[in-house]
Amino acid sequence: MCLGIPGKVVEIRDDGPLRMARVDFGGVRKEACLAYVPEVVLGDYVIVHVGFAISQLDEEEAMKTLEMLRAIDAEGVAMELGSMGDDSTAGPPAAPPPQLPGAV
Amino acid sequence: MSERRPMVDPFAVPAAGPDSAALDPAAADPSALACPAPIPERARVLLGHGSGGQLSAALMREVIGPALAAAAPGGPLNDAAVVEVAGQRLAFTTDSFVVSPLEFPGGDIGELAVNGTVNDLAMMGAQPVALSLAYVIEEGLPIEDLRKVTESVARAAGRAGVQIVTGDTKVVGRGAADGIFVNTAGIGLVAPGVSVGADRAAVGDAVILSGAIGLHGIAIMSVREGLDFEVEIASDTQPLHGLVAAIVAACPEVRVLRDPTRGGLASALNEIAAASGVGIELREETIPIPGPVHAACEMLGLDPLHVANEGKLVAIVPASSAEAVLAAMRAVPEGAGAVEIGRVVADHPAMVTMRTIVGSQRVVDMLVGEQLPRIC
Amino acid sequence: MKYIDEYRNVELARKLVDEIHRVTTRPWALMEVCGGQTHTLVKQGIDEALPAGVRMIHGPGCPVCVTPLEQIDKALAIAARPDVIFTSYGDMLRVPGSTTDLLSLKARGADVRIVYSPLDAVRIAVANPDRQVVFFAIGFETTAPANAMAVWQAARLGLDNFSVLVSHVLVPPAMRAILESPTNQVQAFLAAGHVCAVMGWTEYEPIAARYHVPIVVTGFEPLDLLEGILMAIRQLEEGRAVVENQYARAVKREGNRQAQETVFRVFDVGDRKWRGIGMIASSGYHLRPEFARFDAETRFDVGTITTAEHPACIAGEILQGTKTPLDCTAYGVLCSPRKPLGAPMVSSEGVCSAYHAAGRGLAAPTAVPLYELTRREP
């Protein structure tokens, strides 16, 4: 369920009964209803599902997630070496990319 | 011979009211009683039968092909037929164009009608010589629209260097045609030494794509009723015979040329793989997809590999010629974005696969029926 | 595309795969509830990149697949009426009812129109005062706020020619039903990110505690799924069972209050039948009495509906995760995206269609050989 994609609010129209916006999704612009994200302003990113913004995208959290992912390797190595005690011959933990069963 | 558009548009608003007797969902349908899955799609032509995917192929294979059998030469059908006439190889093709709306970002039905047929000839390695033009016009079409479409035809023909030498005009009652149906047929001369065909791909060959995909289909979708989104892209409709001439000059042994129109890149490659009895392996990161096409596909839940193109081609050439062909293509404007996207392999014959970003292989299937936007 | 492409980064994906392999010491069975997640998992081959003992059981997260057959048949009966403009999301058009589907009905002349947003259906009603406009309101909690707003607007505009055919289902009751089943093998869940963007995750805390299952609210891009799987496996390996949020950029614990308020003004929780599974108590939304006049089921007398599922279709077991398409005798043979017997094969989020599109378990290639004319012997 739930094709919800992130887009940037580039225009807001408060004239009708519902607060509507023009949202830019990487070069495609479509109308979306902002009724459920009243705190959103021009320039904010929202997640849009069937023409409604259902959530404001938290850009800080987005960056944090990516940073955490980038940090994984270093953390993995540190943990591995730490848990090995003083076995100084422990090498980097990364296994080669797995052979995929059923890969064609 | 290939239809360019479904007979029923999923986005169309019916002009006349429905006949309620015909619609009873439980109404007995002879085919429904016989078959284990009682869905009567088999009894009527569906929009999906025109969309270039599996249903289209099934219609050809199960209905049209067998009915024509005695009158047709047999063998795999390519975009155009090559017939020998007094020692010359003549390419011959026909195509019908029904696009709604008539005008869309980047072109109109007139331009599409000329370029489409020129390209079908080009995909056989032929230089276009002459086109015919036939109209089936819906009563009530504004004269101004007719004039505009015809002027577009003239402009496109001039750009492609072909003449419109004969034609026909019919008018049908209101509601019987979507504004205007356009048919063009074309003849061209196949360059000597060139022998292209869907069944000619060989293991080891390089698969080359002339540029970014998805532009035409998304441009059309953006102006379809019910969807209407703004997008900074236009249809890529353009004649490709100049590009083909460049390819042939660099590599006369070019094996396959195909323009991935309805059904998209995936359907075209699947057809080639099946006709040649080979497998094709693609690499996802090499396939050029413009940002807005990618975005529109995300928004609508579509696969860019299934979206129609009107100004691109796939060339399959011996691996040793790949570099030369790429250089030749990039030297002309229509081929500026040419890239190698994969290889022909002996594994999994008739199947197209693609390496994904996590490193697995996924099967790239043909489009089944009409592409419908989804929410899930 | 910003905030999408970054979560498809190849290097990070492979790192996550490696890390999952590094932390996994025992076999585990995880379930992703959302069909969109299933789609990405299968399309990207993520489930096949996991350690051998880690199994992804695909949950009933496809609202198209679980819409009861009765609702489809009712939709078809209503759409067949000449006075009706039947509007629907594109997903529902090819779903097989007992005898036909909306797309085939459209081919026979019914006025069936695809809409992108439920507000489009309201606009069509305003523009066609002499016709009855019916909107097929399906979905999980994610889609409920939009569907609710359409009804709300119709009420505000005083429309008497607009109604909705409701088939809304809820995730937490389905999870409970799966966990309560004697054959349950699921040890951890990836919760549906956008459902939680609307509803928050407070409803999942009692489930995690009661059944001692880790639940990780997860997004839809490859990196989101891999990270969600990693977080779930870490909890399993450590013996923890709490709700965690992988999809922090879109989901807060309390969800979207505004959306929830509107949903509960228009809808009430009630029992719902799930296609292939059966009745699950308090697992769906129905229109509240104040909005009952917008209920298409009462506005149109559709007569008695006798449903008939295809006997070879095992959608029920697929949706419950007890079987995979590879266990189905009809899969790829009698049943394919071209001739679907059941919903999971026709919905792009359905498990069967995801498997089929990826070519899994199909001996012969799925591509149809190019048009070959029948040759006559000379």
Tens digit of each residue's pLDDT (9 = 90 or more) over B50-93: 766 677 777 887 888 888 887 877 655 566 788 888 889 999 99
Q: Which residue has the higher pLDDT, C179 or C318?
A: C179
**Quick one: which of B75, B339, B128, B105 has its CA closest to B236?**
B105
Task: Quote the tokens at residue B61.
Answer: 């294979």
Nearest-CA distance B239 → chain A (Å): 27
- How many whole angstroms separate alpha carbon C86 and alpha carbon C94? 14
The confidence score (pLDDT) of residue B281 equals 96
Domain ranges in chain A? 5-57
Question: In chain C, which residues have their Cβ closer than 8 Å to the Cβ of B280?
Answer: none
The confidence score (pLDDT) of residue B189 equals 94
Question: In chain C, which residues have their Cβ closer than 8 Å to the Cβ of B76?
Answer: 370-372
Residue C165 has pLDDT above 70, yes or no: yes
Tens digits of residue pLDDT in B89-135: 999 999 998 877 888 899 999 999 999 999 999 999 999 999 999 99
Taken in order of first residue, the domains within chain B and their CATH numbers are 78-190 (3.30.1330.10), 198-363 (3.90.650.10)
Residue B35 has pLDDT above 80, yes or no: no
Nearest-CA distance C57 → chain B (Å): 19
Residue C96 touches partner A, C-beta closer than 8 Å: no
For domain A5-57, say whether CATH 3.40.50.880 is its number.
Answer: no
Count Cβ atoms within 10 A of the Cβ of residue C133 and give its class: 0-12 exposed, 13-18 middle, 19 or more buried.
buried
The confidence score (pLDDT) of residue B39 equals 32
Chain B segment 58-77 residues within 8 A of C by beta carbon are 58, 60-61, 65-66, 68-70, 72-77
Chains B & C: contacts with CB separation below 8 Å: 247
Which contiguous run of DSSP H or E holds residue C218? strand C215-218
Question: Among B12-21, B210-219, C261-270, C315-324, which stretch is predicted with the lowest mean pLDDT?
Answer: B12-21
Average pLDDT value over all residues in chain A: 75
The confidence score (pLDDT) of residue A33 equals 96
Q: Which residue has the higher pLDDT, A4 or B280?
A: B280
The DSSP result for B209-276, as a single string, is E-S--SHHHHHHHHTSTTT--EES--------HHHHHHHHHH-TT--EEE---TTHHHHHHHHHHHHH
Is A25 in contact with B359 (Cβ distance < 8 A)? no
Closest Cα in chain A to C32: A1
Tens digits of residue pLDDT in A8-46: 999 999 878 899 999 998 888 889 999 999 999 999 999
Residue B5 has pLDDT above 60, yes or no: no
Residue C56 has pLDDT above 80, yes or no: yes
Residue B301 touches partner A, C-beta closer than 8 Å: yes
Q: What is the mean pLDDT of residues B330-344?
A: 97
Q: What is the mean pLDDT of residues C214-226?
A: 95
Residue C377 has pLDDT above 60, yes or no: no
Interface test with A, best of C4, C142, C234 (most A CBs within 10 A): C142
Residue B123 touches partner C, C-beta closer than 8 Å: no
Is B292 in contact with A49 (Cβ distance < 8 A)? no
Residue C378 has pLDDT above 50, yes or no: no
Q: pLDDT-based confidence at B243, cuts 50/70/90?
A: very high
Taken in order of first residue, the domains within chain C and their CATH numbers are 1-308 (3.40.50.11740), 315-357 (no CATH)
User: What's the predicted TM-score (pTM) here?
Assistant: 0.81
Nearest-CA distance B11 → chain C (Å): 6
- How many whole angstroms separate alpha carbon C313 and alpha carbon C305? 20
Question: In chain A, which residues have their Cβ closer than 8 Å to the Cβ of B352?
Answer: none
The confidence score (pLDDT) of residue B175 equals 79
Question: Among A44-58, A69-83, C362-376, which stretch is predicted with the lowest mean pLDDT?
Answer: C362-376
- How many whole angstroms separate alpha carbon C331 and alpha carbon C350? 13
Is C339 in contact with B368 (Cβ distance < 8 A)? no
- How many whole angstroms separate alpha carbon B338 and alpha carbon B341? 9
Question: In chain B, which residues have their Cβ closer than 8 Å to the Cβ of A29?
Answer: 229-231
Q: Which residue has the higher pLDDT, C357 or C173?
A: C173
Chain B segment 346-365 residues within 8 A of A by beta carbon are 347-348, 351, 353, 359-361, 363
The confidence score (pLDDT) of residue B170 equals 94
Q: pLDDT-based confidence at B13, cuts 50/70/90?
A: low
Pure H helices in A1-104: 59-83
Q: Which residue has the higher pLDDT, C310 or B190?
A: B190
The confidence score (pLDDT) of residue B158 equals 95
Is C197 in contact with A62 (Cβ distance < 8 A)? no
Q: pLDDT-based confidence at B228, cuts 50/70/90?
A: low
Residue A80 has pLDDT above 50, yes or no: no
Across the strands, what pairs with B272? none
Yes or no: say if B287 and B211 are a contact pair by the CB < 8 Å rule.
no
Chain C segment 352-371 residues within 8 A of A by beta carbon are 359-360
Neighbours of chain A (3+ CB pairs under 8 A): B, C
The confidence score (pLDDT) of residue A97 equals 36
